[in-house]
Homo-oligomer: A and B are copies of this chain.
Amino acid sequence: MSDTRIIAEAYFNSLEARDWATLTDLLAAGVVYEMPQTRERITGRDKFLRFNQEYPGDWHLIVHRLVVEGRRAAAWVDARVGEEHQDACIWLDIDESGQVFRVVDFWPETYEPPAGREHLVERH
């Protein structure tokens, strides 16, 4: 198993476990967290930890798929709050010392499909 996979799994496991000590060790001091959908950016380990600690709701993360290559990882995460479920696509960059220095999160929301392709699709 690659170091990148181990680090990426530990990243999600420590979030899920609210294991802030382990998460701290996994993050570079200058980690940058980006959410392109809202154009929000958080810079630095302290603020990023606080963001996660303060994030509302009893959220849980299940890694549905993890693809790693070199020092990059892409995760498809199944996030749950109670009965609610949302997929997330998360892109991690890991530095030479094995710390996560960039996280980019996408949180796609459900929507109704546009008309005009009913002849091709089925809904499930």
**Bound complex: CA A54 to CA B115 (Å):** 12
The yes or no answer to A73 lying at the interface (CB within 8 A) is: yes
Q: How many copies does the complex hold?
A: 2
**Bound complex: CA A51 to CA B116 (Å):** 10
The interface bits of chain A over 37-69 (1 if a CB of B lies within 8 angstroms of the residue's CB, else 0) are 111111100010011001010000000010111
Q: Which one of A10-18, A19-27, A103-111 is at the B interface?
A: A103-111
Contacts of A123 in B (CB 8 A): 38-41
- Residue from B51, B74, B108 in contact with A108 in the complex, judged by beta carbons closer than 8 Å: B108
A91/B110 contact (C-beta < 8 A), A40-B123, A122-B43 known: no
Closest to A87 in B: B36
A113/B38 contact (C-beta < 8 A), A67-B67, A72-B65, A107-B108 known: yes
Beyond contacts A41-B124, A108-B108: 7 other A-B pairs, Cβ-Cβ < 8 A, are A39-B123, A42-B120, A47-B120, A51-B120, A74-B74, A74-B89, A109-B109
